[in-house]
Structure 1
Amino acid sequence: MISLLLIKQITELFLVMFMGFILVKTHLLKAEESKTLSAVALYLIMPCVIINAFQIKYTESIRNGLILAFVAAVLIHIILLILVKILGRIFNLDAVEKASMIYSNAGNLIIPIVTSVLGKEWVIYSSAFISVQLFLLWTHGKMMLCEEQKVDLKKFF
């Protein structure tokens, strides 16, 4: 049942992307304007959705679920880091290829899918994954892509 809902939501996301492509190709929307729309979605809409997800009654069940989601996100990223390290040696992957394997477009994809398939009350748990991924992206990912030797946590916080 969930797999059918997931397929439906992914299809809807692709239809939205296709409509955006058509709007740009027919010159109804300029490519520069799509960057503005992306910025609004990334910096305004997604944070508002995440903040809204936390506007619920705090219970032990929610706390435990959030901890579980956070721990699962950390474990998933540890596995990805190890796997990419091994695959990077085997296939001589460069930093961009490694980063694209570790850091997905989770913020733009997970929240709409979780909201429509499971409901808005589940967004709080997906935010745990996104927070772990963003922390690693702006520390490890930046270090890897900029070929830095160490992470400067002062710049992150």
Structure 2
Amino acid sequence: MNTLKIVEQVLALFFMMIIGYIARKAKIISGDMNRGLSEILLKVTLPCLIISSFNVSYSKDTASNAFTLLLYSLIIHICLFFVSNIFYNRYPKSVQSVLRYGTIFSNCGYMGIPVIESIYGKTGIFYTSIFNIPFNILIWILGVYLFLGKSDLKTLRKAIINPGLISTILGVIMFIFSLKLPNILMKTFEGVGSITTPLSMILIGSMIAEIPLKELFLSKSIYYFSFIRLILIPVSILYILNFFKADGMLLSIPVLITAMPAAANTPVFAEIYGGDTVIASKCVLISTLISIITIPLIIFLIQ
């Protein structure tokens, strides 16, 4: 990886966030617009970006790398499910469930994919989409379990019927059978998908603008959470994968995705399943703000 190029790419993402921040403060973007942008990202632009990234030729090496990343992701998520209980067992249940959810599930879509794309391009999106498959399933199994102590068939259906997973499955089918979409369709998917990164960063900047400045100096539990989410977990995974001689994207994608802030849907799950919504919102917004500093540091360590 070219260090200067990476710094430039990360700074570009940061300045996109600033645009979103200014737009929110200037009331160009409203709270309702934030929700609308989230829906567009989740259900339109991100699936288009994922499908367009699977327009690659099948090879045994690529398939092997994809399977390895899928396995890494599954192991990491399951390990974090158990380890997170140790980190937060002194907190009340409503707070503990939120902190554990945010620790297990990172913002691998809105923020992870743009960061990976800025460094590795479409190949990075391809591998990241594979790595994110367990995330899209386990949020509805382990995620719901954290709040309710159980999962049911309704939540399992949501694990299967969500735009991110459906687009990834379609992409995998295209990859395995070397299916190519008509050029006009591919250009459409690429065009719509290309707005994912700037739209994501503008949305995140707008969300950060909603944090009262005094909140940045309170809530010790959020600083503790952010340290675990943004530093302890990715650094631990970096050293473990280095020990097993992982390299290239087999090393960097797991580390970078786990270096992302708390999943953007953490407050939504807290609201639906009885968690502490205030803590959930702080986890997402403050860890996102701090990640502007920590992500470049993690990238530096990977090199």
| CA–CA separation in structure 2 for the residues paired with 1:4 and 1:90 | 43
Alignment check: 8 A CA contact 1:66 1:125 kept: yes
**Deviation (angstroms), 1:43:** 1.4
- Alpha carbons of 1:141 and 1:53: their partners in 2 closer, same or farther (altered >3 Å)? same
Q: 2:145 aligns with which of 143, 146, 151?
A: 143
**Deviation (angstroms), 1:103:** 0.8
- In structure 2, the residue corresponding to 1:29 is in which secondary structure? coil
Determine if the alignment matches structure 1 residue 86 to structure 2 residue 86: yes
Deviating more after overlay: 91-100 vs 63-72:
91-100
- Alpha carbons of 1:72 and 1:6: their partners in 2 closer, same or farther (altered >3 Å)? farther
| Residue identity in the other structure for 1:64 | S
RCO (CA 8 Å, sep 6+): is it higher in 1 or 2? Answer: 2
Alignment check: 8 A CA contact 1:140 1:151 kept: no
Alignment check: 8 A CA contact 2:24 2:30 kept: yes
Alignment check: 8 A CA contact 1:6 1:113 kept: no
- In structure 2, the residue corresponding to 1:118 is in which secondary structure? helix
Alignment check: 8 A CA contact 2:101 2:143 kept: yes
Question: Counterpart in 1 of 2:19?
Answer: 19
Alignment check: 8 A CA contact 2:144 2:151 kept: no
- In structure 2, the residue corresponding to 1:94 is in which secondary structure? helix
Determine if the alignment matches structure 1 residue 126 to structure 2 residue 155: no
| CA–CA separation in structure 2 for the residues paired with 1:131 and 1:72 | 11
The residue correspondences of 1:64-79 to structure 2 (distance < 5 A) are: 64-79=64-79
* Cα deviation code 1:6-50 (max 9, x no counterpart): 443333222222211211211222232222122212211111111
Question: Counterpart in 2 of 1:58?
Answer: 58
| CA–CA separation in structure 2 for the residues paired with 1:5 and 1:71 | 30
Question: Counterpart in 2 of 1:45?
Answer: 45
Count of aligned residue pairs for this structure pair? 156
Question: Counterpart in 2 of 1:36?
Answer: 36
* Cα deviation code 1:50-73 (max 9, x no counterpart): 111112111111110110110111
- Alpha carbons of 1:4 and 1:142: their partners in 2 closer, same or farther (altered >3 Å)? farther
**Deviation (angstroms), 1:3:** 5.2
* Cα deviation code 1:75-103 (max 9, x no counterpart): 21122122202212255651111111111
Task: Give unmatched runs, 5+ long, in structure 1.
Answer: none
| Residue identity in the other structure for 1:149 | K
| CA–CA separation in structure 2 for the residues paired with 1:134 and 1:48 | 16
TM-score scaled by length of structure 2: 0.47
Q: 1:107 aligns with which of 95, 106, 109?
A: 109
**Deviation (angstroms), 1:5:** 4.2
- Alpha carbons of 1:28 and 1:46: their partners in 2 closer, same or farther (altered >3 Å)? same
Alignment check: 8 A CA contact 2:105 2:139 kept: yes
Alignment check: 8 A CA contact 1:50 1:123 kept: yes
Question: Counterpart in 2 of 1:156?
Answer: 159
Aligned identity (percent) is: 26
